[in-house]
Amino acid sequence: MLAFDDVVRLRLAVTLMKELTENTYNLIILYLANHPEDAGLYYQANLLPNQPPEADVGHLQVNVTADEADADDEEEEAREVLLARVDAQGRRRRRKRGPRKRRQWWVRPWGSGDRRLLFGHFDNLMAELRVEDPYSYFNFLRMSAQMFEELLTRLTPRIQKQDTNWRKAHSPGLKLAITLRYMATGENYPCLSYGFRVSRHTIAVIIPEVCKAIQDELAEEVVTFPQNEDEWRQVAARFQQKWNMPHALGALVW
């Protein structure tokens, strides 16, 4: 009995050939005459004219004058012919693809380190806002400059990378600024890429890395678990004071 994967490949072969030759069609009819239990799979694979899977295959019975060994040889021949055509077509398709296109840039010019220093948000816009407009700086990162520096000092050992002979590593401040801007606004990676002049693929690595560092550094300090009855009562009192909801100890957000 043919496996279903073989039937799928046979269907692909028929699709590629557009139509069955008379000889191949007769071989399939001969196979089904001896294996009517496979008729449903052949109909599903569109190897034969449309019939319901449960249709009677009695009309496919033919007078087989060859002995059983010859029938098996012809069945195997039908499979080999069709599968060989699938493999040949696949090789032709692979040849048409041609060689892979070489990368045009290792780093796009607008994202180079020099232009990042000249035009990127971290070294220019954030520096201007820090000096001239602290309110806008807070609005940009949802955090004051002093809090940013404090957080950066604590996270630097966790997120700083070593420079290599090929390129300089991104500074911890740049990584933290990108992450905070992402959390503050939900901007997608391409927008952050153009603003901070860092590849979006690099940003996709930076953000989870910095978030993990924040969690490891501040989890025990910021997210504390009440240890006794009095601390639980304080939590319930804050819920009632802020949300007018008594006897609440937590909330789930989804």
User: Would you state the pLDDT for residue 174?
Assistant: 95
Name the residue among 224, 226, 232 with its Cα closest to residue 240.
Answer: 232
- Give the start-end residues of each E strand in 38-169: none
User: Would you state the pLDDT for residue 53?
Assistant: 40
User: Would you state the pLDDT for residue 146?
Assistant: 94
The pTM for the full model equals: 0.53
User: Would you state the pLDDT for residue 181?
Assistant: 95
Asked if 120 and 196 touch (Cβ cutoff 8 Å), the reply is yes
Asked if 14 and 46 touch (Cβ cutoff 8 Å), the reply is yes
User: Would you state the pLDDT for residue 29?
Assistant: 59
User: Would you state the pLDDT for residue 142?
Assistant: 93
Biggest CA–CA distance in the chain, Å, is 98
User: Would you state the pLDDT for residue 155?
Assistant: 95
User: Would you state the pLDDT for residue 214?
Assistant: 94
Name the residue among 127, 116, 140 with its Cα closest to residue 199.
Answer: 116
Low-confidence residues in the chain, pLDDT < 50: 1-2, 4, 8, 16-20, 44-46, 50-66
- HSE, side-chain direction, 13 A CA sphere, residue 76: 6
CA 160, 213, 226 angle in degrees (round to 5)?
150
User: Would you state the pLDDT for residue 98?
Assistant: 62
User: Would you state the pLDDT for residue 102?
Assistant: 74
User: Would you state the pLDDT for residue 15?
Assistant: 52
